[in-house]
Structure 1
């Protein structure tokens, strides 16, 4: 029976009830035998600004990734290697982008990525989910590693992490709503959907804080290129990059993208919102850049009790239907706001970019390689109750 499908447990999918998809209590340093990685990550911004990162990596010895112990060490190593790797590729801009990642970086980067079920790229999982630390008991956080951009780069990653934290209420709510569906409890389902609506609206409020500490010029001209991937039409490295010691042929990867963040996909799944065509294909591709347990959670929500079907079966209940429609509208509103952010930080800046801009490969495209405005508008328009 439709409503008797399995309900996923957050704890079974490495989702914390306090910080959601963020890695709880991430480490901040690796053991001494990985000191070379610690040094490069902690000094990454300065080394890139001085154009010294490549030389340091080229001179680095090969560290034995097999000596990493436990999930948290692997996640921190993944974060460090993602930042170091993308910095290495893009240090000198498009014209001198590195076409080969040297083996002392490529071998551990690919091995750790494979162990975690992730891709060797500057993914959301590496740049946000395990790239933070608590700075006081009140829950305030800051980043561990940053690209050039100083406090603006910190702010970008911090606000993105705070959006993830704000989604926790919504994640709990969709599980409660599913229980309400299974138990045919309209009151429980309605209350849970109210919490989901509040969570989505609060996510937008937190997202709006991006304006408070992120300058558009710094984001577009200094930070954004380092989040890029490689491979495909329009890329400065259309064939991809060779990971020395791992691949003899170029490998293509997507750069960091908001589409790699799991909460919105989970909320789509819970509300039965579907996107067709190329946007759907791209979202499916982005799941491969999420930790496996997180993408499995989204699939479990999709295959769980259908909140959308339950609401449609209870069309006579005005409160239930109204709050469900509010949730979908809140999702659409969040996506509309995301478009406004992209216009400010990318579209407008693209039109103003300097003649000396060294990263034309991402001038008018998303760091994920997508022609982003049609993509984002399509997602917004297909966020519907119909």
Structure 2
């Protein structure tokens, strides 16, 4: 480890790594196969403080910065990317409250999110509004001291188990991005319906669902910031959480490389382990270099976000784009090293490969990340 991590961060890395190898790894394939995430693992993560790691101590959290959170998530992603996405998705959903919530909202919701009492989902994407957020059709109409919410959301992570949603809708349909507002919506509010659970190619233990809002009444007290702040809240949320998707890619790639190395030492062809063939040695060397470059870029991005520096948006986009592209390449090469066996479902390489693809798409496709980076360069 080369980023001058503190003693506490190194201790956390070892603790989470031990938990991942002993408790999570034996269940990783079953989680992916069944499509259900076990409550007992979430309970264990709550006990270890993983779920509350990034939240302020006054709300019952661990008070960890983004770099420390990234270190922990890499250890989980090495053995089970589905598991890493549980606290990552939780932080994505909670971040609008972190960045724009008033003290009353933070005390009411973050204190329950940090302790694991509440699960929260980030409800932004719609059937016709993915990268183009301004085209969202969900609406929020003021009615006295309430808002009436209507709309359909798609690909909402953990919507089926969420207790709360960070919901985005237009309070002024004529203003494009400037007409978007953000609300805290409790799941038990009448008018919310969870639609189909998507049958994804990978990350099957990490649910994505449709959500429908039909005349959902939400008090004005649940508006985050002011009307029209929603786009700013969404973009700041993504800027602050993209390094976590990036580190999930780093961990996933590292896990794939570790498995390929171990396999290459035991698989014999032409009278010797395939690890002794220079062609495969060079492949593994390239994989290791790419992973380490990704890791250091994520650490840099996380540090810049923690310091609230002006380059945080660009470096967050860089880390997410680069690390997840590397994850796709490394998992492809790992599967190639394991060969025919690697294509079979009883080997983890095919799981790593399928999961890597999604990371190039979520929280803004990697093409959109390049648009963000170019926009920052040309300012």
TM-score, normalised by the number of residues in structure 1: 0.29
Greater RCO (Cα-Cα under 8 Å, separation 6 or more): 1
TM-score if structure 2 supplies the norm length? 0.29
